[in-house]
Amino acid sequence: MPSAATSSDVTGLPGGDRFVPDHALFALPATEIAPLLLGGLLTHETDAGAVVLRITEVEAYLGDGTDPGSHAFRGPTARNRVMYGPPGHVYVYFSYGMHACANIVCSPAGAASAVLLRAAEVIRGEALAQSRRGAVPARDLARGPARLTVAAGIRLDENGADLLAAPFGLELQRRPPEPATGPRVGVSGLGGGAGYPWRFWIPGDPAVSAYRAATRRGARAPRRQQPTRD
DNA sequence: TTCCTGATTGACT
DNA sequence: GTCAATCAGGAAG
């Protein structure tokens, strides 16, 4: 169990038996860290103010070469180098040409495991999150990995930042809720399906993203061709 | 160097 | 339910 003994209450929110984890906790494998994050409070502060999220859904990705769904499956690259760094830091990556998604680096440095933050509930800074996300229902503000980063104001240039130091902050529940588990969302091939039930969420929580299996886009319109001159 | 794929989302039918 | 937007990473040649 983590050594942090007292709840310094970085969020100032009342209630809950919570503690501030230290970096040593994140040296555990991602599959062990992931369920511990459920119900935890993630704070991110910018000049515009702070947003506090209650984490409702996460996914674990291993970097030991056995997880084909992991960005680290093929070894270190410029993009995933943060995954190979010290645990307890934030790995933010650019996805689908338009979205940023946030992970927490787990396991000892070099192991390249991470936990993807898939969904959360905004419990403080709702107006700020609304200003970033537009007029959407409160439960949808951070329901989805890209939505979560937008609502919290997490930027790509914060890739590699320490999750346990400003502008971030994290409090975990001493007794996290019993998680539901299932296949990871959008992970195709061997990395998805029942063989990798490393998606964890709070059962019945409205701020959990909908499951979407990996989709292949074989029927998509032809890609833009180089213009032909004639 | 070229081309395809993807840990997504929101608009549209 | 389907589909397009958009770009970095990585495989293939």
Nearest nt to A144, CA vs C1'?
B8
In angstroms, the CA A63 to CA A72 distance is: 5
Quote the mean pLDDT of chain A. 84
Residue range A147-167: mean pLDDT, rounded: 93
Strand B atom within 7 Å of A77 CB = no
In angstroms, the CA A37 to CA A154 distance is: 18
Model confidence over A8-28: pLDDT tens digits?
Answer: 455 556 556 999 999 999 999
Model confidence over A81-116: pLDDT tens digits?
Answer: 899 999 999 999 988 888 899 999 999 888 899 999
For residue A1, what pLDDT band results from cuts at 50, 70 and 90?
very low
Nearest nt to A80, CA vs C1'?
C9
Model confidence over A47-60: pLDDT tens digits?
Answer: 999 999 999 999 99
- Model pLDDT, residue A212: 74
The Cα diameter of chain A in Å comes to 73
Cα within 13 Å of Cα(A174), Cβ side: 10
pLDDT for residue A223 is more than 50: no
Nearest nt to A74, CA vs C1'?
C10
In angstroms, the CA A185 to CA A22 distance is: 29
Strand B atom within 7 Å of A97 CB = yes
pLDDT for residue A224 is more than 50: no
Residues 6+ apart with CB under 8 A from A167: A44, A45, A46, A158, A161
> Which positions of chain C lie under 7 Å from any protein Cβ?
2-11
Strand C atom within 7 Å of A135 CB = no
**Distance of C1' in B10 from CA in A2, Å:** 40
- Model pLDDT, residue A143: 92
SS3 at position A16: coil
**Distance of C1' in C1 from CA in A159, Å:** 36
Q: In one letter, which amino acid is A9?
A: D
Q: In one letter, which amino acid is A163?
A: L
